[in-house]
Amino acid sequence: MKRIGFVRHGVTAWNKERIWQGHSDIPLDPEGIAEAEKAAVRLAGENWEIIYASPLKRALRTAEIIREANPGIPLVADERLMEVYGGQLEGTTEQNRIEKWGAEWRSLLPSLGIEPDEDMVERGVALLEEIRQRPENNVLLVSHGGFIRRLLQEIVPDQELSDRILNTSVTVVEMHEDRNLCTLYNCTKHLNA
């Protein structure tokens, strides 16, 4: 059995302004750094063996902070953990999108250059298949809200996991031979500690 921990990056200024980030390389803001530090303290005693992270600044810095609290474990940046590419939506707010494309802008998604769901799922599943072949049994993946939510829908389809993934939330999936089981979902108890 592999135990996979999914951690969303800490908050950014664009998160607070509800600006679509996608592949835009936005750093953590001071609150996001503080959130990552709290997540790091929480994760320090949980026997994680390796950390994989999106190379985008907000996720990679979150992973680096977690690693600082877990000295000696490897950190691997992997582009397959990047957020869903947002095409023309990146850098826009809901109001911007309505002004530019109208209230029904979501119906235009394929023509606006957004990464197809199938492509995002394919790259995420490919990484998980590689992880299955590795010797580590407790693997942390530090990534992005849209990516994590969509990948979880794919790998644990029989569980209702529809909430928005919160910044620095921890989700744990046990990957068994016959099925995957989500044992912890979207948990941010460390932010209240």
Annotation-wise, does 44 bind a ligand?
no
9, 35, 90, 144: the active-site residue: 9
The gap between the terminal CA atoms of the chain, to the nearest Å, is 30
Residues 40 and 68 sit within 8 Å (Cβ to Cβ): yes
- Active-site residue 99, yes or no? no
Buried b (16+ CB within 10 A) or exposed e, 17-42: eebbbbbbebbbbeebbbbbbbbbeb
Annotation-wise, does 15 bind a ligand?
yes
37, 83, 90, 115: the active-site residue: 83
Annotation-wise, does 8 bind a ligand?
yes
Annotation-wise, does 9 bind a ligand?
yes
Annotation-wise, does 58 bind a ligand?
yes
**7 CB burial (10 A radius; 0-12, 13-18, 19+):** buried
Rounded distance, CA 167 to CA 108, Å?
A: 28
Annotation-wise, does 138 bind a ligand?
no
Rounded distance, CA 109 to CA 63, Å?
A: 31
- Active-site residue 83, yes or no? yes
Residue with tokens 């907000």: 58
**164 CB burial (10 A radius; 0-12, 13-18, 19+):** exposed
Residue ranges for the known binding site for substrate are 8-15, 58
Residue ranges for the known binding site are 8-15, 58
Residues annotated as catalytic (active site), given as ranges: 9, 83
